[in-house]
Amino acid sequence: MGGGGQQTESESSCGRGGGVFTWEEVQRHSHKGDQWLVIDRKVCNITDWVKRHPGGARVISHYAGEDATDAFAAFHPEPDFVRKFLKPLLIGELATSEPNQDRDKNSVLTQAFRELREEVEREGLFRTQPLFFCLHLGHILLLEALAYLLIWVYGTGWLQTLLCAVILATSQSQAGWLQHDFGHLSVFKKSRWNHLLHKFVIGHLKGASANWWNHRHFQHHAKPNIFSKDPDVNMLHTFVLGKTQPVEYGIKKIKYMPYNHQHQYFFLIGPPMLIPVYFHIQIMQTMFFRRDWVDLVWSMSYYLRYFTCYTPFYGVFGAVALISFVRFLESHWFVWVTQMNHIPMDIDHEKHEDWLTMQLKATCNIEQSFFNDWFSGHLNFQIEHHLFPTMPRHNYCRVAPLVRKVCEKHGVTYQEKTLWSGFRDVVSSLRESGDLWLDAYLHK
């Protein structure tokens, strides 16, 4: 653990409280119905607040009983505004004899990352270039118009329909990257404008739910590749991931699927089905069960626009078939881009590591090129995105050398690979995990 060092009230206070606590006391309050966390050495009782937390109850609960300083800074571009909500939650502070970090978090790396963040802020790398996002939205709308005009002018032959589907899938994929920008509050200075445009892009341009995305995706960023906390590694027993889970399943003789063949059936139920089946069902269930009528209206506006445009050409069943095929194509694009950065990396149970270590173990980069930037929505800079999720993506290439320098100085592995290597590593890591499962299933 690192050394203490009391920060000043003006720098770090989230309110006022009279208690003085040790880390051991804080860690006892990490269960549902009894949750504390620490921000800048200030202890806050979030037990009653979690249900009202705008980002969802789960993401904030994942930090119960530990230091959430870096996560708080990462997710809130308006920290002074957010601290107003924290003031009533303050119950005290850490004792002066207590270190800044809980458990075995690396104090040197924690301090190095916070100094890096200060440098990044001084360099203005959190400032947005409005023209970048205007052009990106413009090219999405242009693709939508081009797909419609293609059918209107040239008819509904097989070739025209196939080309229309490819154009629409491209538009949907690029809209997915744009909603990701707004969802991370990385475009406008004021969060409310990001939220509004997020609902427009993910709802009206894609037919999905902003709240569903927020509650799911922020958990992934808060605790990436950590079982029971990152929903992206909850495979519903269809796959086993990493090196720990396969052995656990094997020892317990768990065999929901023939996991030693998962690198093969991945091609059948992974990329083809994630968006058109699993995500679609989950989004609709979430909006109805949570009575999220605002998101439902935004989502229905997309389908109203789509069927108004394409039903006159294809009829209802033909239009349904077309959008299903578009989702099928989009799903392949989405799965390969998002999983090449994570599945080959460390996937395990909670280890309570510092922010820099946790994010670097769970992410890797794909080398930069104009195509890779566009194709992945700049998520080829996955490391920088995870370290600074509210940073505009056009600045990732500028912050990357700074991140790499810190990693080299402190011996932290910084992985970068080619696009093809990223795709290949998804399959090879699934094969390796399947082999681990089979060995444990047969011999342990």
Is the pLDDT at 442 greater than 50? The verdict is yes
Per-residue pLDDT at 17: 61
Q: Give the distance, in angstroms, between the CA of residue 396 and the centroid of all CA atoms in the same chain.
A: 16
Tell which residue, 57, 34, 73, 7, has the closest CA to residue 391. Answer: 73
Judge whether 80 and 120 are in contact, CB under 8 Å.
no
Architecture of the domain defined by 19-103: Roll (3.10)
Per-residue pLDDT at 81: 86
Confidence label for 205 from pLDDT (cuts 50, 70 and 90) = very high
- Three-state SS for 308-331 is HHHHHHHHHHHHHHHHHHHHHHHH
How many Cα atoms within 13 Å fall on the side-chain side of residue 191? 12
Could you read off the pLDDT of 404-436 as tens digits, one per residue? 999 999 999 999 999 999 999 999 999 999 999
Q: How many helices and strands (H and E) does the chain possess?
A: 19, 7
Per-residue pLDDT at 80: 84
Per-residue pLDDT at 8: 39
Per-residue pLDDT at 16: 52
Q: What percent of the chain is predicted at pLDDT more than 90?
A: 90
User: What is the average pLDDT value for the chain, to the nearest integer?
Assistant: 94
What ranges do the domains of the chain cover? 19-103, 130-224+263-340
Is the pLDDT at 84 greater than 90? The verdict is no
Query: pTM value?
Result: 0.92
pLDDT greater at residue 198 or residue 80: 198
Could you read off the pLDDT of 17-70 as tens digits, one per residue? 679 999 999 999 999 999 999 999 999 999 999 999 988 899 999 999 999 999
Average pLDDT for 235-256: 97
Confidence label for 370 from pLDDT (cuts 50, 70 and 90) = very high
